[in-house]
Amino acid sequence: MVDTKQIADHMEVVGSCGNHVGTVDHLDGNRIKLTAQDSADGKHHFLALDAVEAVRDGKVVTRMNHKQALASLQAA
């Protein structure tokens, strides 16, 4: 699992392919809460921390491509 201290509010979340998934609102236990303004439905969604591969170049990178990551998001 990635070191959660490396994940900061307002970091971009991208898929393993490099495409945009969302923006970190804040950490919420073992999940990342994404900003509502950045989602297609205008609501907050959560990404499980175990879906995160790494933090690189100031971005949170998921273990899956952006389409798979978007499909795995949990509604708030």
In order, the DSSP letters of 7-32 are: --TT-EEE-TTS-EEEEEEEEETTEE
pLDDT, residue 76, reads: 84
Q: Are 43 and 75 in contact (CB under 8 A)?
A: yes
Q: Quick: pLDDT tens for 31-64.
A: 999 999 989 899 999 999 999 999 999 999 999 9
Inside any domain, residue 76? no
Inside any domain, residue 23? yes
Helices first, then strands: H and E counts in the chain: 1, 7
What's the CA gap between 69 and 48, in Å, rounded? Answer: 10
Inside any domain, residue 72? no
Inside any domain, residue 75? no
Containing structural domain, residue 33: 1-8+19-61
Domain count of the fold of the chain: 1
Inside any domain, residue 13? no
